[in-house]
Amino acid sequence: MRVLVGPAGSSGLGNLEGVKQVANLGMQAMECEFTYGVNLSNEKAKLVGELAKKLNISLSVHAPYYINLNSNEKKKIEDSKRRILESCERGHYLNATHIVFHPGFYGKKSKEETFDIIAEEIIELVKTIKEKKWNVKLAPETTGKINVFGDLNEIMELTKKTKCSFTIDFAHILARSKGKIDYDDVFDKLKNHDHLHCHFSGIEWGEKGEKNHKLTPDKEIKELVSEIMKRKKSVTIINESPNPMKDALRTKDEFVKQGYKW
């Protein structure tokens, strides 16, 4: 069992200082956020990647939010793929493992048709990543809104069909299930995978699932850590709350409290 914990983004410090801060706080991971665009050069990415390697921090990348592989407009699909591939290229220079993205919306299409279209695009992206020899994994994320593609079953089917990796967002799963997350069922679906890339935070939800991320309640940190500890599952947990550095640290402290030793 191997556990890596860290924040989403650098809390305004910038990637280099962010990596240093994560290491200073005794954490092991950080997700570089390209939320509104891939605004990092390959050269800078390389510097950040080298520092992270030196300090033993495992990096991942969150691709820009505006992505829809199931758009009716061809240009929007092409733009989405370009944003994902730019994230992969930077990720390669960062020595990042997972390239996280939200695959798309159902729009007016059926769930089945949406799945087929998104799967086809991801197969093509996986092929390009191989051709370019970028050493990263595409990791579509479980989403929190019920009208958005990406419940746990869809993401796991996608992984099977396209050989991509995946990201499990426990807050999103909680929101989709309106607070009644069935950990046995979730971990059963993940049992064939050794190391899980995960997101976590507090979350507000309504009839349509996710409303917004909030600070991570103590009770939810305790619960998730204990579910992971009792299954001895290897995980990377990236905190995405409004205070990700602090909440990641609280998550790390809870692992220590429950007996995990780094």
Contact residues for Zn ion, defined by CB under 5 A: 169, 199, 240
Q: How far is the CB of 171 from Zn ion (least distance, A)?
A: 7
Distance CA 70, CA 32 (A): 25
Distance CA 153, CA 105 (A): 16
Tokens of 67: 């992505």
Q: How far is the CB of 219 from Zn ion (least distance, A)?
A: 20
Residue 51 or residue 59: which is nearer to Zn ion going by CB? 59
Q: How far is the CB of 210 from Zn ion (least distance, A)?
A: 10
User: Which of these, 206, 243, 191, 205, lies nearest to 221 by C-alpha position?
Assistant: 243
Residue 51 or residue 203: which is nearer to Zn ion going by CB? 203
- At residue 29, φ and ψ (nearest 5 deg) are -145, 155
Q: How far is the CB of 262 from Zn ion (least distance, A)?
A: 24
Q: How far is the CB of 139 from Zn ion (least distance, A)?
A: 11
Residue 16 or residue 156: which is nearer to Zn ion going by CB? 156
Residue 199 or residue 233: which is nearer to Zn ion going by CB? 199
Distance CA 242, CA 183 (A): 25
Residue 176 or residue 199: which is nearer to Zn ion going by CB? 199
Q: How far is the CB of 75 from Zn ion (least distance, A)?
A: 26
Residue 51 or residue 172: which is nearer to Zn ion going by CB? 172
Whole-number CA gyration radius for the chain? 17
What are the DSSP calls for 214-229, one per residue?
A: EPPPHHHHHHHHHHHH
Tokens of 232: 């001895």
Q: How far is the CB of 127 from Zn ion (least distance, A)?
A: 26
Total Cβ atoms within 10 A of residue 239 = 32
Cross-strand bridge partners of residue 237: 5, 198
Beta strands in 79-140 (DSSP E): 98-101, 137-140
**Three-state DSSP state, 64:** coil
Residue nearest to Zn ion (CB): 199
Tokens of 158: 């996608």
Residue 169 or residue 247: which is nearer to Zn ion going by CB? 169
- At residue 169, φ and ψ (nearest 5 deg) are -100, 105
